[in-house]
């Protein structure tokens, strides 16, 4: 539903997407009263609600109704609870504190279901998710101003005093279910398409919203009662709308225009630390119960690893988000900070304000920017940061990770499994039989060629090309890498001696190539570049990394590469594909077949028995690269001598994805950045 402006008000509530994980409300088998609440309650207490406690809000011309609508529900439930407590005590209490619609609306935007930030509006589900994960603070700590104002100190702990309790999604087409929920709890949170009939003047009694034809816009609000004619609406347009901010929406109007409905109860207060300032994958109850600890949140079922040095234990999820710039599929930044206004502000927070505070006053300030490969989604990146970042910090290096949401690994594996299923039917024979072993190798080669063809003709190649385009788009004007480079320039102005080091894994080499261009425009040098199994083409390296060396942005002897031997590339797999990701990229996913890939050994030296490894159209690029680096140059080839590598807790297979889990590789990288042995050793890189 597009954002609409009607008579000076913005309507931008978006319908929830279907999610079959929603718990459905199951009404109790209780006969309902003909009207709820009783008419005497309306005439007696709504004036107290509005005039004394001032709990009818006014969002003005702002399109923040998802926050104001849910705030209305929470305020109403708190007020009803207050009335019960006053009745039990037999004396009046103080005013009911209003909750923050700003916090609820901001969380709705962060937890919404649509990619990126280039959209208008928010949904009820996004607001409910935010409440579920963080609770809600008072508007004294986080007031709603037309221009975003960050919350005051202590807002996280205050929000934990008002957590979400049990909650359910209501069948919006069932009037009786909605009535039962209102009768059981007192208020429900809903959204609907509204029309010009909603524009009411002040009234001495509850007016009825008369349906009018014409344009509509999405609006979120509270239902706090029902009558024979319809639902009682509490709106957020001030107390001069309808009867003290209330009106009746007819059942016919609701059935025609209703979008979503949620019922919830208030939870019991929780005690939490002050770290929860970012998006969270855990509920507030899970955080309070200790499930934010790495052992629980990593999903491990084995005995927890005991760190010799507590300083290198994994970061909390919230602290991990403080060390990353998150980019969407369009290359634009995404805000994961609850207390920061927007995406540009999030980049400033992660790339300038927080590093400046940590690096200021250090004798040898160093910042490392890590770009993960294209096989990860955001959750996997955050797990990596939680584990890796402490080793940088403990060795006097400030880590900043670039989280770019590709999810390519999950996509490609599924697509290849489907493709193989079409070409190769499972054998009914026992695969341990000798005849199977005899023909297995020939079948594998035929299978791999078929997978390569399928990858080109199905969706795998477009997914890879889209990922590359996303990396390039991140360097566009106002996009993520451009903003990042700008704030790094500001950081160097404040700390002129700052060294900036780039570390990239797999497709992270593509992201760093574009970042180098933006750093070059600002004459910001890179003190070193370390690439693990770079998945960029040799042509890309010639277009981005070589010019950086020629322009003096990075010294030639400060380029470092860790790659697999060709033998190990052929022993690696991607789903059903019997070779490594880089082989698949080279043979099926790039512009033409057998494109030279920088992370393959053949880009650095001839491989025996593989004269046709590269397409002849690109042979010249390989020669230029080899001449540039001077033969094998600054590359370490990982092969036979270490088919297994240590992640600190045990041995894992040497593979394309193992480099950032390899204690030896990461230790060497940190030592290069430090220019000295480590202060604190790398203990474990397991868990991502």
**Distance between CA atoms of 649 and 671, rounded to whole angstroms?**
21
Question: Which has the closest alpha carbon to 117: 478, 507, 517, 508?
Answer: 478
Per-domain boundaries in the chain: 34-266, 293-413+457-674
Question: Which has the closest alpha carbon to 508: 589, 598, 434?
Answer: 598
Q: Compute φ and ψ for 374, nearest 5 degrees.
A: -85, 10
User: What pLDDT sits at residue 21?
Assistant: 74
Tokens representing 205 are 């009694």
Average pLDDT, integer, range 405-418? 53
Read off the pLDDT of residues 107-129 as tens digits, 9 standing for 90 and up: 999 998 555 444 456 889 999 99
Count Cβ neighbours within 10 Å for each residue of 38-55 and write b for 16 or more, e otherwise: eeeebeeebeebbeebeb
Tokens representing 615 are 């397409």
Q: Over pLDDT 70: what percentage of the chain?
A: 86
Q: CB count, 10 Å around CB of 491?
A: 22
User: Is the pLDDT assigned to residue 415 strictly greater than 80?
Assistant: no
Question: Which has the closest alpha carbon to 171: 15, 1, 13, 27?
Answer: 27
User: Is the pLDDT assigned to residue 185 strictly greater than 70?
Assistant: yes
Q: What is the CATH number of domain 34-266?
A: 3.90.70.10
Cα angle, residue 341 at apex, residues 336 and 347 outer, rounded to 5°: 55
Q: Does the predicted TM-score (pTM) go above 0.75?
A: yes
Read off the pLDDT of residues 34-64 as tens digits, 9 standing for 90 and up: 999 999 999 889 999 999 999 999 998 788 9
**Distance between CA atoms of 538 and 622, rounded to whole angstroms?**
7
Name the one residue in this structure whose structure tokens are 């969706």: 459
User: Is the pLDDT assigned to residue 491 strictly greater than 90?
Assistant: yes
User: Is the pLDDT assigned to residue 101 strictly greater than 80?
Assistant: yes
Least confident range of 247-261, 325-339, 386-400, 515-529: 325-339
Read off the pLDDT of residues 205-248 as tens digits, 9 standing for 90 and up: 999 999 998 767 899 999 999 999 999 999 999 999 999 999 99
Read off the pLDDT of residues 254-306 as tens digits, 9 standing for 90 and up: 999 999 999 999 999 998 877 889 999 999 988 888 777 765 556 565 678 89
Q: DSSP assignment of 256-292, as one string?
A: HHEEEEEEEEE-------S---B--SS-HHHHHTTTT
User: What pLDDT sits at residue 445?
Assistant: 58
């Amino acid at each position: 539903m597009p954002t609409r402006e009607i008579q000076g008000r913005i309507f931008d509530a978006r319908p929830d997407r279907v999610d079959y994980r929603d718990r459905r409300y199951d009404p109790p088998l209780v006969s309902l009263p003909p009207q709820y609440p009783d008419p005497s309650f309306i005439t007696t207490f709504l004036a107290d609600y509005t005039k004394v406690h001032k709990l009818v809000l006014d969002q003005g011309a702002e399109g923040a109704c998802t926050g104001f609508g849910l705030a209305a529900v929470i305020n109403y439930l708190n007020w009803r609870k207050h009335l019960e407590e006053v009745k039990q005590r037999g004396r009046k209490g103080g005013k009911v504190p209003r909750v923050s619609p700003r916090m609820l609306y901001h969380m709705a935007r962060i937890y919404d279901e649509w990619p990126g930030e280039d959209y208008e509006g928010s949904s009820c589900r996004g607001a409910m998710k935010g409440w579920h994960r963080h609770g809600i603070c008072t508007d004294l700590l986080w007031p709603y101003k037309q221009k975003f104002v960050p919350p005051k100190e202590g807002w996280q702990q205050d929000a934990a005093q008002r957590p979400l309790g049990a909650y359910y999604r209501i069948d919006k087409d069932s009037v009786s279910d909605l009535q039962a929920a209102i009768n059981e709890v007192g208020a429900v949170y809903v959204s609907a398409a509204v029309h010009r009939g909603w524009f009411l003047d002040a009234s001495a009694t509850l007016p009825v919203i008369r349906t009018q034809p014409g344009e509509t816009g999405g609006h979120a609000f509270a239902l706090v009662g029902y009558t024979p004619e319809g639902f009682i609406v509490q709106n957020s347009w001030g107390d001069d709308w309808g009867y003290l901010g209330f009106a009746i929406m007819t059942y016919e109007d609701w059935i025609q225009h209703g979008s979503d409905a949620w019922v919830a109860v208030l939870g019991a207060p929780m005690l939490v630390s002050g770290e929860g300032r970012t998006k969270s994958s855990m509920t507030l109850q899970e955080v309070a119960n200790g499930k934010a600890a790495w052992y629980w949140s990593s999903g491990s079922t084995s005995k927890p690893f005991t760190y010799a040095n507590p300083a290198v234990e994994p970061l909390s999820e919230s602290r991990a988000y403080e060390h990353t710039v998150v980019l969407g599929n369009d290359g634009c930044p995404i805000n994961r900070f609850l207390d920061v206004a927007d995406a540009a502000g999030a980049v400033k927070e992660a790339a300038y304000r927080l590093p400046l505070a940590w690096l200021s006053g250090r004798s040898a300030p160093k910042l490392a920017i890590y770009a993960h490969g294209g096989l990860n989604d955001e959750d996997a990146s955050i797990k990596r940061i939680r584990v890796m970042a402490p080793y940088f910090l403990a060795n006097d290096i400030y880590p900043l990770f670039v989280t770019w949401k590709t999810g390519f690994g999950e996509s490609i594996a599924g697509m290849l499994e489907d493709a193989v299923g079409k070409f190769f039917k499972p054998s009914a024979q026992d695969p341990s039989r000798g005849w199977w072993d005899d023909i297995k190798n020939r079948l594998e080669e035929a299978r791999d060629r078929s997978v390569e063809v399928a990858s080109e003709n199905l969706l795998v190649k477009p997914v890879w090309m889209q990922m590359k385009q996303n990396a390039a788009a991140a360097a566009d004007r106002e996009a993520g890498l451009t903003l990042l480079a700008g704030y790094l320039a500001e950081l160097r102005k404040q700390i002129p001696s700052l060294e900036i080091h780039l570390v990239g894994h797999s497709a992270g080499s593509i992201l760093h190539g574009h970042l180098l261009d933006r750093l070059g425009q600002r004459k910001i040098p890179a003190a070193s570049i370390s690439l693990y199994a770079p998945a960029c083409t040799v042509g890309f390296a010639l277009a981005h990394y070589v010019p950086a060396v020629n322009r003096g942005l990075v010294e030639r002897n400060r380029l470092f590469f860790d790659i697999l031997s060709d033998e190990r590339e052929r022993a690696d797999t991607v789903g059903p594909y019997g070779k490594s990701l880089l082989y698949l990229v080279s043979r099926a996913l790039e512009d033409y077949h057998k494109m030279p890939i920088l992370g393959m050994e053949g880009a650095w030296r001839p491989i025996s028995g593989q004269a046709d490894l590269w397409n002849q159209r690109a042979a010249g690029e390989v020669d230029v690269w080899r001449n540039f680096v001077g033969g094998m140059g600054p590359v370490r080839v990982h092969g036979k001598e270490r088919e297994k590598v240590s992640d600190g807790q045990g041995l894992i297979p040497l593979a394309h994805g193992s480099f950032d889990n390899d204690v030896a590789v990461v230790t060497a990288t940190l030592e290069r950045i430090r220019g000295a042995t480590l202060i604190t050793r790398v203990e474990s890189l397991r868990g991502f």
